Every structure is written in structure tokens, then in C-alpha cells.
Amino acid sequence: MKRLSALLLVAVLVLCQVFAGGTKEEDSSSAPAASYKDTIIIATGADQGYMDGQMNNTNDVYLRACYSQLVRRALDGSIEGDLAESWSVGEDGVTWTFNLRHGVKFHNGKELTSKDVVASYDRLLNNPAIRYNSLAKGYIEDVYAVDDYTVCLVTPGPVASLLANLTHRSNLILDADYIEKYGIDLGVTAESVNGTGPYRLASWNKDQEMVLEAFPDYFRGEVPTKIIDILIVADANARTVALETGQVDIATVNSSEIPRLQETPGIQVKMFEGIAAHGLQFNCANEYMKDPRVRQAINYAIDKQLIVDVLYSDIGEKACTAPVNPNVWGYYDFGVVPQDVEKAKALLAEAGYPDGFDISIMLYPNYNKSTETCEMIVSMLADVGINATIEVVDNATFKAVQGNRSYPGEDFPWAMFFMGYGAGTADCDEGLRRIWTTSPDGNNNNNYGWYSNAEVDRLLAEAMSELDEERRLELYKEAQQILYIDDPAAIFTNDRYNIWTMSDKVEGFEVNVNNVIFWDNLRCRS
């Protein structure tokens, strides 16, 4: 923030000089060819929790600048090879063979071999302290090396979504030596990060600044921009001002600013299809939320369409029609759950709460318009007799809540909490199974609201191994019917776009459905 304040002060002084003395008009006919900056500055609202895909609970945006994986999501949403040149599945239907590229280098100069791939999956599968341990164990049973450039993954049975699952951030390949050296602390500091991606993590001052430096030996070829300087600026207004004054080249901003910025000279707004949604999740361990009738009542009490019309229509976002985004494979359109206040009151009375009750909603405000959304929901809940109050938490508290895997007591007092949902694999297997299946050990893992429905568990387990696509789609439809309407796991409000604002001098900015930046052509004119 100190650095950003200084930059903004310089901008003001420059503008004062311009208005006082004017500028000399250049002869366009003699203008030199475009030159490009060595450094692109990005302002974002929150830092990464870990620079380690197996532990990261933030996003994929900058992780993949540093790391690669066997396969990845291309810009068009298809699955393409990354570290793997080719792959095949054996006649047994469970043994997948991946042939690695030769000559791939880690940022410290070491060559990547199958040893690193095996070590990465051994850590993911066999260390219960790893965040995505239970997710990976659902689709990988074993991993072994055939030779230095050939690796086999063995699944517990036929897994229809295996390639999609391998695109998840938890499958980013780590250096075997760093796994041994840093253990669970890998990815906590810049020194503990060693990947094979287009950028190396040069420095990292937590919650202030992250500097990425182009890796000249990147196996796809060195990227054009030498430095990516990422400033962590929690204040959205400060990020917007920094963008408008030219002190940063790219920024994430509040969506309320988008219509104005679209009309602002020198600024370009880019909107991409994504796989994310917003919602207000139930804490199913709460005394009231344990009852499906209460959750149904709340679902009918809330006018999702009105929320979207008031808060999100200016950027074209739409109300949710399922528990996953339409860009996720397996999505089924159920339509927007309509508001029905009388039905909500009847369900509350049936559950034994004709006069309602008091609850608290946990809100982490970094989600776009989460505060305004929750305020509208509080008003709607009051109409059916539920007195809800909002408790705003900071980033540290929010991450601690996600990291708390034990059954909630006083440390999880909220009945509902605002969340973002995204199928990291763009497939319903991970998009539903990771978040909503009953944790086998009774802990939350990534099922933060302790949702549990035996039929959902059965349907998602069957769908994982179902190779017939039509049958698999039907299984996901049945599971979504339960999660969305019959035994709701959350109030799903709006499907998200990936929205980025930037100087009109920025060229080649592209992201895939996971909001992962492809750095291959990203440049900014001087």
C-alpha cells in the first residue's frame, strides 16, 4: 500500500504538470514502431494462500505461471498435453500411461523426470495433511515410473473424468527434492517454489507484493514480458484509481465500476466465460440448518432473480439455474428457483419454527458484491420471520475457517456463509463431488458446510465410474436436483464472468474458463 500510494502521488504530480504546461504534439508520421515494457504491473485484491497447487485454496490465476502439469485446459476449453506429450489407457481401463516431454527444466535448472511426477502424487495421495488428499484418492489409487520419461497412474476403477480431473490445480507437478526439503511448508515462501512454468517466483512479500520473473528455459519458449509485478491492494477503489492513473497495467475491480470503465478512454474491459458461481452456503451442522425443510424454506424465501437484476445485470451476469455453472460438463438447467414466501412460511412451520429464529451469516467481503447480496438476503429472510445478522470477517479468519476440518463447535458459529463455487476441472465430478459428498472421516475437507446426503453420495460415486456419457449426465442431473431443490446445500445466486480491466496498451491478454492467464503473448506497449 505504501508503494501504491507513492505511485499515485507521482501520477498526480505528472497530471498537474500536463495541465499547467501542456504537452508537445508528436508528428504521427514519424512515430517509431511500438516498443513494449519489460514489466507489467497487476493490482489484485488478495494474495495467494500457498504457491502450491496441492494446498492452495485461493485460485489458479498465478499458480500456473510457476507450475505445469501432465495435461491442462486450453483456451478453448479442450484438454491438451502440458508436461505429457501423449497418453493412453490400458485394456484394463484403469492404467493410464503418460509419456513426458524430454528436456523440461525446473527453475533451478534441474531436468524434470518421472521421479518428480511420482513424488508429487505420492505426497498428494499419502499425506492426509494435504488439502486435496481426499479428492485425489477418489480418482487415483497408485502411481509409478516405468522409466525416466514414462509414468503410470492407476485408478481405483474406470474413471470417466480422469483427464478432466488431472487439470485441477492439485495436479501441478512439484520438484521431488523440494518436497523432501520443505515438506508441508512447500509453497509458503518464494524460496520453496520451484516449478517448470513460464515464470519463476522471484520474490514474495505476503499480502503486499509478488514478483514473477520470466524463465528463459521454459519448454514452450520464453514469454515476451520479463517481469510480472503483482501488487496486493485490498481496497478496490485504490485498485481502480491506480488503473485509471496508469500506475498499474491490469487490475481486478468491483463490478459496479465496469459500466463506467467501459466508457473510460484508455481502459479496456475484458469479460470471459468461466466456471464459477456465487452462493450463500448452509452450515448443516447448525441446529436450524440440519433440517432440510428449513433449508428449503430459505431457498424459497429468497428472490435470486431480483438480486441479480439489481446487483449483477449491469455486467451481464445471470441468476443460477443449477448448483454448477453452465460451462461445467454435466450441468443441467433447472431454471431459477422462484421466490415463494408463503411456501417458505409453511415449511418453517412444518419444521417447528412458525415464528422463525435468529441466525448469523458469515461474510468475507472480497467476493464481488457479497455485502450487498447478503444485505438483500437478510431483508428477504425477515419477511418469513428469520432474523439474520451479518458478521464480516477478514481474509485470515476466512482462510482459518476453511482450514478447520473438525466438526464445528464454537469456532464455527454461523448458520450460513457466503462462498464462491467453481469446478476447477470444468467437470461435475470435481465440481460436485469435492464440495458436497460426505467426508469419509467426518471432517469437512472441502465440504465446508458439512453437507451430507446419502443419495447424493451414491449418485456421484456411480457417475465417477460411469463411462456411458448419457447415463453419466442423467446421474448428475439427479444429484443436482437434490442439491439445488430437494435438499439444498446452498442458495446459489449468480453465475460469474471472469472480468479483467486493463490499460488499452495491454495486448494478448487471454484466460481459460478457470481464469488462468495464458502468458504466451501478453505484452504492454510503452
Q: Residues near 247 by Cβ (< 8 Å), separated by ≥ 6? A: 4, 7, 8, 10, 11, 41
The pLDDT of residue 444: 66
Query: What is the number of other CB atoms lying within 10 angstroms of the CB of residue 63?
Result: 22
The pLDDT of residue 396: 83
The enclosing H or E element of 98 equals strand 95-100
**230: buried, middle or exposed (CB in 10 Å: 19+, 13-18, 0-12)?**
buried
Strand-pair partners of 199: 214
Give DSSP secondary structure letters for 12-31: HHHHHHHHHH--PPP-GGGP
From CA 460, how far away is CA 147, in angstroms rounded?
A: 35
Number of residues in the chain: 526
List the one residue out of 273, 336, 282 whose CA is nearest residue 494: 336
List the one residue out of 190, 103, 185, 189 whose CA is nearest residue 148: 103
Work out the angle at residue 252's Cα, subtended by the Cα atoms of residues 251 and 255, and round it to the nearest 5 degrees.
Answer: 130
The pLDDT of residue 13: 40
Using the Cα atoms of residue 182, residue 186, residue 189 and residue 195 in order, give the sign of their dihedral.
positive
Helices 341-350 and 292-301 meet at what angle, rounded to 10?
160
CB environment 264-295: b (16+ within 10 A), e (fewer): eeebbbeeeebbbbbbbbbbbbbebbebbbbb
The pLDDT of residue 64: 94
Helices 236-244 and 2-21 meet at what angle, rounded to 10?
40
Q: Residues near 47 by Cβ (< 8 Å), separated by ≥ 6? A: 58, 206, 207, 208, 210, 232
- Decide: 49 and 55 in contact? Cβ < 8 Å: yes
The pLDDT of residue 3: 57
The pLDDT of residue 23: 42
DSSP code of residue 189: S
C-alpha distance across the termini of the chain, in Å: 24
The pLDDT of residue 157: 93
List the one residue out of 435, 436, 472 whose CA is nearest residue 161: 472
From CA 422, how far away is CA 435, in angstroms rounded?
A: 10
For 260-283, the pLDDT digits (tens) are 999 999 999 999 989 999 999 999
The pLDDT of residue 25: 45
List the one residue out of 76, 74, 47 whose CA is nearest residue 63: 47
pLDDT below 50 — which residues of the chain? 8-28
Residue 85 C-alpha cell reads as 506429450
From CA 523, how far away is CA 526, in angstroms rounded?
A: 10
Q: What pTM, to 2 d.p., does this model score?
A: 0.82
Residue 353 C-alpha cell reads as 419454527
For 100-151, the pLDDT digits (tens) are 999 999 999 999 999 999 999 999 999 999 988 988 988 999 999 999 999 9
The pLDDT of residue 439: 78
Question: Which structural domains are found in the chain, ordered by start?
Answer: 63-249+505-524 (3.40.190.10), 276-497 (3.10.105.10)
From CA 71, how far away is CA 74, in angstroms rounded?
A: 9
The pLDDT of residue 417: 96
